[in-house]
Amino acid sequence: MSDNIAFFGSSEFAVPILKSVLSSNVKLIVTQIPRMAGRNRRLTPTPVSVFAHENGLNVMEVENVNDEGFIKILRDLKIQLAIVVAFGQILKPNLLESIPDGFFNVHASLLPAYRGAAPIQRALLDGAEETGVTIFKIDKGLDTGKIAVMESLKVEPLDTFDTLSEKLSALGTVLIKKFIENPEIQLKEQNGDPSYAKKISSEETEINWHYPAAKIGNFIRAFDSTPGARTALNGETVKLFGFKGISQMHGKPGEILKINAEATVGCEDFSILVSKIQFPSKRVMSFGEAQNGRKINVGFVFDS
């Protein structure tokens, strides 16, 4: 489609897709500036930045891509097409109009479903059985542009944010190659009722044990492995990971009914099976390890 390509991406989701387009004429990789991250709040470059530097690629860490100085760089490099994947900045009209073929986004949903910042986590929270990847031309709306390529993907019952992200990123690598290699692709309007996937807030990651088991299972899956589904235990905030299914056992909401390979925890109707727990400032461990370390036992109750 284009001789000179710029790739805009930041998260781990974007890295496989970047790898898949390097055989094309990628003149510039653009990513976010380093941010504070981790327990020690260290200044950390994006996964895309790390990959680019490790492989000697031309990368820029840009605080504001809408700045006229940065737009001049795109023009000086004669960039014709930009691919955007989990980048993390809003692209304004002056930027979108600055290159001939425009900006195309690789979005992890079947648009117009789950427009917005957190499509994978919102799909899991909803218990969606299908999602997919859409490549569309960015316009001034929120994920409203015309579609170039779209393909669906089945969501498995035990998929987590991590596993589903990996599958969708892999699908994105296939679709972006198809897009780049086919200059005759016709853009199509989005069709259907839109839904929105707003950014996940910290408050939304707290488990309500008075919900049905299926809803709580979806909740844990959506935040596994980041940022983790939170609950209270003996005055501390802990995180749960590794949803393994639903049990017919009954107990009080939040009550640990059984511990073996995983813990059985009561919900409003049935119980969930969950395999891992993380205490404050500790590593993620199995419930068996936590029980052996006398951190937890049958009869303990998580608080909503």
Name the pLDDT band for 83 (thresholds 50, 70, 90).
Answer: very high
Task: Say if strands 81-85 and 102-107 run parallel, antiparallel, or are unpaired.
Answer: parallel
Mean pLDDT across the stretch 217-224? 98
Q: Is the pLDDT of residue 161 over 90?
A: yes
C-alpha 71: how far from its chain's center? 28
CA dihedral sign, ordered 213, 202, 18, 111: positive
Mean pLDDT across the stretch 256-279? 97
Full-model pTM: 0.95
Q: Is the pLDDT of residue 38 over 80?
A: no
* pLDDT score of 22: 95
Residue 231: how many other CB atoms lie within 10 Å: 23
The domains of the chain are located at 5-181, 202-292
CATH code: domain 202-292 is 3.10.25.10
CATH code: domain 5-181 is 3.40.50.170
Three-state SS at 85: strand
Q: Which residue has the higher pLDDT, 183 or 61?
A: 61
- Residue 302 to residues 192, 239, 287, Cα–Cα distance (Å): 41, 11, 14
Cβ(226)–Cβ(284) below 8 Å: no
Mean pLDDT across the stretch 170-194? 96
Q: Is the pLDDT of residue 2 over 80?
A: no
**Alpha helices in 192-281, H assignment, sequence order:** 213-222
**Token couple for 268:** 């409003």
